[in-house]
Amino acid sequence: MRIILLMLALCTIASGLAAQPQSPQAAAPTAPRPAIQTRIKELARIAGVRNNQLFGYGLVVGLDSSGDSNQVAFTARAVANMMQRFGITLSSEQLKTRNVAAVIVTADLPAFTREGDRIDVLVSSVGDARSLQGGTLLQTPLQGADGEVYAVAQGPVSIGGFAAGGPGANISRNHPTAGRIPNGAIVEREVPVTAVEDGFLSLRLMRPDFSTAARMVDAINRRLGSGTATPVDAGAIRVRIPSGQERNLVALVAQLEAIPVEPDMPARVIVNERTGTVVIGGHAVIAPVAVSHGSLVVEIAQEPVISQPSPLGEGETVVTQKEQTRVQEEEATVFPLQAATVEDLVKALNALRLTPRDIIAILQAIKQAGALQAELEVI
């Protein structure tokens, strides 16, 4: 009878606790992480709207004896040819080129650049010049891949540093043999841009992905109407220009670029063994696995040993090296990972106070065991 009464009392208490309202903190569900949305402008570009690379060969003058030496034959030849254009005939052997440096000038010609606009150029030495500090680039035609001249560069070179020294010591900051000329080239020829083809615009994804392309098509169709966008493949989408928008293409492209899309990110782990950098994507998942990590330190030291002959004997004092080997093995640490996300993995590795090299070795071992559900890329 007492057992029955005790059971009834326990049931009454349990039912009373269940009937009580729970605290707001306990009842509140865990809030899901907000989706990261990005504009189409950051995910894709309009086909046909692109930069064009230009390059040219020129001379930087006005250097303080830091230019090319006389051993650089093409610098002396270029200076002789330039002087011949001004009516001065000299042989390359008669020239001293320490104040001149031969350079390659490169630039990017953006789309929709008009004749007369200015663009930045990069100047890089091709000889044995020590520094381009204080130099001025002479007029240099910049050609495209088709051999046509699209811009002309000229102006003072800015290297953003310095180089100084003498026969016994040298000091430099930044890279003194390469510099920039802001707005140093004038555009002489325009490149035509063809963005519309048969009444369609083509969007090219900067990182081709089927999921991202599908989401982008759905977002465009919701904003501009069903059937406006159709997928071609993982890297291209065709957008039909609505009737009446043919002459207002700028507004249409601006509307397309402002549409938010949630991009899909692959599960990927990037490892740089040279710098010890590890970047883990948010979708990386670790299957149940146990990790044991320890280190073995082997130290080999050499100590000098002096060997002397006997007092009455003949010989010389000889100094030899005696090697001593010490082995120190740290205690290994075993820690489990059960269906861990990247956040759990980072917390576990940080708790062990591991170095980046150790983390790289652990990630490679987890990937080899088949527990890392992500692509491991070593750069």
> Region 164-177: what's the mean pLDDT?
70
Q: What are phi and psi of 44, to 5 degrees?
A: -150, 165
Same domain, 274 and 356: yes
The larger pLDDT score, comparing residue 330 to residue 70, is at 70
In the chain, the number of structural domains is 3
Same domain, 327 and 373: yes
The pLDDT score that the predictor gives to residue 261 is 94
Same domain, 247 and 122: no
Residue 287 has pLDDT above 70, yes or no: yes
The pLDDT score that the predictor gives to residue 194 is 86
For 50, 116, 127, 192, 363, the CA distances from 112, given in Å and listed in that order, are 9, 12, 35, 8, 47
Residue 28 has pLDDT above 50, yes or no: no
Same domain, 112 and 93: yes
The pLDDT score that the predictor gives to residue 373 is 81
The larger pLDDT score, comparing residue 316 to residue 262, is at 262
Rounded to an integer, what distance in angstroms lies between the CA atom of residue 129 and that of residue 133?
Answer: 10
The pLDDT score that the predictor gives to residue 297 is 54
- Of 150-164, 200-214, 264-278, 343-357, which one has max mean pLDDT? 200-214
Residue 211 has pLDDT above 90, yes or no: yes
> Region 286-309: what's the mean pLDDT?
67
Residue 336 has pLDDT above 50, yes or no: yes
19 inside domain? no
278 inside domain? yes
Which residue type sits at 100? V
Percent of the chain with pLDDT over 90: 38
Q: What are phi and psi of 343, to 5 degrees?
A: -65, -45
> Region 48-64: what's the mean pLDDT?
94
> Region 67-91: what's the mean pLDDT?
86
Rounded to an integer, what distance in angstroms lies between the CA atom of residue 67 and that of residue 101?
Answer: 5
220 inside domain? yes
Cβ atoms of 43 and 216 closer than 8 Å: yes
Tokens (6 digits) for 113? 């650049």
Cβ atoms of 154 and 62 closer than 8 Å: no
247 inside domain? yes
The pLDDT score that the predictor gives to residue 32 is 47
pLDDT band per the 50, 70, 90 thresholds, residue 346: low
Rounded to an integer, what distance in angstroms lies between the CA atom of residue 221 and that of residue 211?
Answer: 16
Same domain, 331 and 294: yes
> Region 13-42: what's the mean pLDDT?
53
Cβ atoms of 234 and 210 closer than 8 Å: yes
What are the beta bridge partners of residue 178? 124
Dihedral sign of CA atoms 19, 21, 25, 27 in order: positive
Q: For 323-349, give the DSSP string.
A: EEEEEEEPPPEEEEESSEEHHHHHHHH
**Helix 210-224 × helix 249-257 angle, to 10°:** 130
Residue 31 has pLDDT above 60, yes or no: no
165 inside domain? no
What are the beta bridge partners of residue 44? 205
Same domain, 181 and 226: no
The pLDDT score that the predictor gives to residue 15 is 40
The pLDDT score that the predictor gives to residue 220 is 95
pLDDT tens per residue, range 123-135: 999 999 989 999 9
Mean pLDDT value across the chain: 80
Question: Which of 223, 243, 261 delimits the end of a domain?
Answer: 261
> Region 315-319: what's the mean pLDDT?
71
CA 30 to chain centre: 35
Same domain, 110 and 230: no
136 inside domain? yes
Helix, strand counts (H, E) of the chain: 8, 25
Cβ atoms of 286 and 344 closer than 8 Å: yes
66 inside domain? yes
Residue 195 has pLDDT above 90, yes or no: no
Percent of the chain with pLDDT over 70: 74
Q: Which domain holds residue 322?
A: 269-309+317-378
CATH number of the domain bearing residue 256:
3.30.70
Same domain, 79 and 130: yes
pLDDT band per the 50, 70, 90 thresholds, residue 332: low
The pLDDT score that the predictor gives to residue 357 is 77
Rounded to an integer, what distance in angstroms lies between the CA atom of residue 235 and that of residue 376?
Answer: 23
Tokens (6 digits) for 90? 């000299």
Same domain, 254 and 213: yes
Same domain, 200 and 305: no
Lowest mean pLDDT among 60-69, 179-188, 220-229, 280-289: 280-289
> Region 320-338: what's the mean pLDDT?
62
Same domain, 282 and 255: no
Same domain, 293 and 355: yes
211 inside domain? yes
Residue 296 has pLDDT above 70, yes or no: no
Burial class, 56, CB count within 10 angstroms (exposed 0-12 / middle 13-18 / buried 19+): buried
